[in-house]
Structure 1
Amino acid sequence: MPKPDKTIKKRLDSLEQHLKEENPVLVSAVDGFRRLSRIGYATGLLDTGESYVTQIPWWPLISVLGTFSAGKSTFINQFLSYPLQDTGNQAVDDKFTVVCYSGERNTRTLPGLALDADPRFPFYRTSDELDKVEAGQGKRIDAYLQLKTCNSERLRGRILIDSPGFDADEQRSATLRLTNHIIDLSDLVLVLFDARHPEPGAMGDTLAHLVKATKDRTDSSKFLYILNQIDTTAREDNPEEVVGAWQRALAREGLTAGRFYSIYDSEAAVHIEDEALRRRFEWKRDQDLGEILSRIEQVSVERAYRIVGALEKHAEKIEEYYIPRIRKLVASWRKRVLVWDTAWLALAATLAVGSRFLPPPAVASLDTAISTLSADSLLAVGAGLAVAGLALYLHFRSRKWAAASVLKEISHATVSEESERLLRAFKRNTRAWRSIFDPDPAGWNRRNRRALKQIVSSANGLVQALNNSFTDPSGKRPRVEVAEAVEEAPVEVVSGEMMPREETA
């Protein structure tokens, strides 16, 4: 059975050591992914340089998407309480920026290679994916990615991704591929739109990519749609109409449920002369911003459930999707091989029957040769072996031609990542020593089927363990007594200021 390479083993050991300190419950999840990967290797769905562990981020991941003028960088700077990202009304940065915590006071900007070569970050081995989109793009990894560090406590234990502003119709396929990649990996996706552009119809392509492509996802709850710089609508006769226009635009793309947040940066806000209107805008902003920050604080908890859910999802996908697909592909291959073999047999029968219609001298010579072979046992065995060898050669040529036609169909009918998995798994089923009549795909034996059921069962047990960590339905845990607060003068909070959440002792 194929085994993972040393790099994968080393990463798994390092991850387990980290999780023992952070969240011991997830150590069992790593073991589940390890066992699931063995099934992937056996069936050919995984290469030995891959693992299901590497396909999900194990650190909380928050991505910020939107058009170039939506205020993404301003929002990130405000969240970090540090001017990390350059800001402007035009496109300032055309790279995906991964922001992580550093103990150093000075920030650092590292090239894309720092992400491409480090399995701890979400863009590990992205250069390989870029090469699949367009040959040679993998060498230009620094043109797509960069890593920034910041000494902000809000980043501790989290990874933040700032995407380049874009309109989906103008983007290179590589950039859109990276966008879809981070959407899949993220625990929370903040999608920002610019309230200064009151005609959302002009953003149709962007809305289609950011909204329409995500509304049917099973994890659609992780998307927060945010109308930024809402303060610019204060001078409108009816500010609510701007929000309503955006909500209708999202509804046209199929997003009819979920919250729509309205915020703005207090430091860059336009002056609102009407005090009552200003207080209303500030109240709305503080309410929505508070909810957004609360979701960010909950990312670590959601991540634990997401990882356990991903374990069960991968296991079910193998049994309910990939194995049936492989069965159909193998059945199609078998049918084509039999068609070719039948054609060879028909050709042989035609030649045998046709030989009887040759001129009489030729028929007599053929009969004499057959009689001579039959009389000499050694020659008969040799002739039999030659015929068997020719039959085997033609059969394996049939297998090869049939496999080539199926492989071509797989490449045309499926997307890149899925295509690679199916191609690899199908090739594993067409190896020379496997019969075309094998009832089950390669690696899908009784032991692996039983192991898969055990993995799903253990995933359910992990969910219960997480529930026990965060809930107490029976109320049997010791009650935590809260010390009576000492009366102090009330602290006046300036409306609109982003106040960092106080940590309780």
Structure 2
Amino acid sequence: MYRDNYITALRTELLEMVSEQLTPVALRYGYSEVPLETNIKWRPQVLVLGNYSSGKSTLINEFLGTTIQGTGQAPTDDSFTVITFDDEEPDGTPIRVTEQRDGKFLLNDPEYPFESLKKHGQRFASHFKLKKVNSPFLKNLAIIDTPGMLDSITERDRGYNYQDVIGDLAQIADMVLVLFDPHKAGTVREAHTSLRDTLPSKTFEDRVLYVLNRIDECTSMTDLLRVYGTLCWNLSQITGRKDIPMIHLTYSTAAAEKNIQEDNPQATYLRYLENQREDLKNAVMQAPCHRLDNLASFVETHGERLTHFLEGMISYRKHARLFRVKSFFSGLAVSLVGGAAAWLGLMTFTPLAGFDPVLQLSGAGVLSAILFILWLTVVQKYFYGRFLKKWLRQLDHLTPLSNQTRRDSWAAIRDLLYVNLKKTEGHFSLSQVYSEYLVVKEIHETGSREIREALKELSGIDSNNWSKDMNEPVVPYWSVPESETPLEEQ
């Protein structure tokens, strides 16, 4: 299909742009610990977050069509579970877990985009796993189930920084579901931190869907409206938004049937909300459609941040060069003054006054050279250390922060620049950094615009009109090997 070939070609171009032009610079200067394309080369992902009793596992089981994740009123699983499709199982086989692998496998297999999570340590790795499931729902996406968020648990209790892990996963996810249940329409401490700090800094607002789950446990429509209103109020307080985000409503059909059978006639209101469940499912299945937009946003975001990062390096190097020029001439002046003083001393000091003037002048010159060398090797090094510490304390003065976009970009890379300057002591080639800065800036300003124009053109392509053979099986674009040359656009 021509449309799929177009998507494949565009995806290949994006990956090449990142791997060949952004990644080398990012790795060289510590902007990233792993190749940037690692985070975007796999299939679309949906991250599922929520309080421990919000019904995450139940909702996932509903999507998959069978019980894959353990469920219960108390916390049943404290692991991050990547659930992906097993395409080796023949069609018609009962849905089941076909393969399970541990965290060490996931973190070290280059097929998966989780190499950057190694930094969270062994304790996290032991709470990270993979399940392959032959559910048709997973053909075009993967789901990441997470441990339930609690109120009193700490980083020491978990053994790893939960918010950092959530942030890293949200950064590579194409969609994030945040689940609540009627009994905790308010939010626990970890949920508050995730919604207020972690998600806004790591992903875009339009990728986050809020879900009120287990609504079958509301005794009536009035009860549901009360819970819904409470959740809206709490979200407005946490997110600071005046406009309340859309909240999807859903429930387990099996649990709902049980409630209705237990002589609860008011629970029949659920049948009027069946479309809400379908809307949520359809929204999740749209994750692959957002993938190219997210890839374009990835290039734009990292192009902008890496440009700002290099701009900070260039600014520091220019200040450092000016410092060294001033220090050089200061040292030269001090050495000349010292040499002149030594020459006058030799001429006036009675025991040496009778020496040959040329010899006296040579001695003064040697002393001046020694003073200059000492200045460059000892004194200048000392003052440069103080100069570096001063700029590390006032990094914000390295670059203009004239608008909110630049302030947001600076907030994302400031600590990385601090680490880079402290580690290298500011010793790097200004000409090399500047040439790389021009390349990255070109990608940010021109490449990003061209990507958006290509996506706009793609949105105008009618896949039905562009298809030669509607019976031809469609291969998801993320499964096409990067080395495979896409067909020419027609």
TM range (shorter): 0.7 to 0.9
Corresponding residue of 1:119: 110
- Say which SS state the counterpart of residue 99 (structure 1) adopts: strand
Please tell me whether residue 110 in structure 1 is matched to residue 106 in structure 2. no
Alpha-carbon contact 2:50-2:178 (below 8 Å) kept: yes
- Say which SS state the counterpart of residue 59 (structure 2) adopts: helix
TM-aligned CA distance change 1:153 to 1:476, over 3 Å = closer
Corresponding residue of 1:95: 79
Deviation at 1:81, TM superposition (A): 1.0
Which residue of 38, 56, 66 corresponds with 1:82? 66
What letter is aligned with 2:415?
S
Deviation at 1:348, TM superposition (A): 6.8
- Say which SS state the counterpart of residue 373 (structure 2) adopts: helix
Alpha-carbon contact 2:331-2:376 (below 8 Å) kept: no
Deviation at 1:333, TM superposition (A): 4.9
What letter is aligned with 2:62?
Q
Aligned ranges for residues 13-412 of structure 1 at < 5 Å? 23-37=8-22, 40=25, 44-46=29-31, 50-56=34-40, 58-102=42-86, 103-104=88-89, 106-127=97-118, 129-130=119-120, 138-167=121-150, 170-172=153-155, 174-197=161-184, 200=186, 203-213=187-197, 214=199, 219-235=204-220, 238-253=223-238, 254-255=240-241, 256-269=243-256, 270-272=258-260, 277-284=266-273, 286-319=274-307, 321-330=308-317, 333=320, 364=349, 368=353, 374-375=358-359, 382-383=366-367, 385-393=369-377, 394-403=379-388, 406=391
Deviation at 1:26, TM superposition (A): 0.7
Q: What is the number of equivalent residue pairs in this alignment?
A: 438
Alpha-carbon contact 2:220-2:266 (below 8 Å) kept: no
RMSD (Å) for aligned C-alpha atoms? 4.3
Alpha-carbon contact 1:42-1:442 (below 8 Å) kept: no
TM-aligned CA distance change 1:327 to 1:279, over 3 Å = same
- Say which SS state the counterpart of residue 47 (structure 2) adopts: strand
- Say which SS state the counterpart of residue 167 (structure 1) adopts: coil
What letter is aligned with 1:326?
M
Deviation at 1:64, TM superposition (A): 0.4
- Say which SS state the counterpart of residue 190 (structure 1) adopts: strand
Per-residue CA shift, 1:251-280, capped at 9, x if unaligned? 111243321112110112342378874443
Deviation at 1:236, TM superposition (A): 7.8
What letter is aligned with 1:317?
R
- Say which SS state the counterpart of residue 22 (structure 2) adopts: helix
- Say which SS state the counterpart of residue 271 (structure 1) adopts: helix
Q: Could you tell me which runs of 5 or more consecutive residues in structure 1 were left unpaired when the two chains were aligned.
A: 1-18, 131-137, 435-439, 483-505
Give the distance between the partners of 1:368 and 1:110, measured in 2 at CA: 88
What letter is aligned with 1:461?
E
What letter is aligned with 1:81?
G
Alpha-carbon contact 1:111-1:147 (below 8 Å) kept: yes
Please tell me whether residue 443 in structure 1 is matched to residue 433 in structure 2. yes
Higher relative contact order (CA 8 A, sep 6+): 2
Give the number of the structure whose residues are more often helix, by fraction.
2
Give the distance between the partners of 1:372 and 1:240, measured in 2 at CA: 105
What letter is aligned with 2:276?
D
Corresponding residue of 1:457: 446
TM-aligned CA distance change 1:384 to 1:197, over 3 Å = closer
Give the distance between the partners of 2:414 and 2:106, measured in 1 at CA: 24
Q: Could you tell me which runs of 5 or more consecutive residues in structure 2 were left unpaired when the two chains were aligned.
A: 90-95, 396-409, 471-490
Q: Percent identity?
A: 19
Give the distance between the partners of 2:151 and 2:337, measured in 1 at CA: 61
Per-residue CA shift, 1:178-216, capped at 9, x if unaligned? 011111211111100111335x2xx35244223223458
Give the distance between the partners of 1:304 and 1:233, measured in 2 at CA: 39
- Say which SS state the counterpart of residue 260 (structure 2) adopts: coil
TM-aligned CA distance change 1:46 to 1:204, over 3 Å = closer
What letter is aligned with 2:218?
T
- Say which SS state the counterpart of residue 122 (structure 1) adopts: coil
Per-residue CA shift, 1:355-387, capped at 9, x if unaligned? 899xx9997179759x76842787666545433
Give the distance between the partners of 2:351 and 2:51, measured in 1 at CA: 81
What letter is aligned with 1:124?
E
Alpha-carbon contact 2:332-2:372 (below 8 Å) kept: no
TM-aligned CA distance change 1:85 to 1:38, over 3 Å = closer
- Say which SS state the counterpart of residue 75 (structure 1) adopts: helix
The farther-off stretch of 331-340 and 204-213 is: 331-340
Deviation at 1:40, TM superposition (A): 1.7
Deviation at 1:421, TM superposition (A): 4.7
- Say which SS state the counterpart of residue 98 (structure 1) adopts: strand
Alpha-carbon contact 1:407-1:423 (below 8 Å) kept: no
What letter is aligned with 1:318?
L
Give the distance between the partners of 1:50 and 1:220, measured in 2 at CA: 25
Deviation at 1:230, TM superposition (A): 0.8
TM-aligned CA distance change 1:32 to 1:169, over 3 Å = farther
Per-residue CA shift, 1:125-145, capped at 9, x if unaligned? 422x22xxxxxxx23343331
- Say which SS state the counterpart of residue 170 (structure 1) adopts: coil
Alpha-carbon contact 2:178-2:208 (below 8 Å) kept: yes
Deviation at 1:223, TM superposition (A): 0.8
Give the distance between the partners of 1:247 and 1:354, measured in 2 at CA: 80
Give the distance between the partners of 1:30 and 1:298, measured in 2 at CA: 22
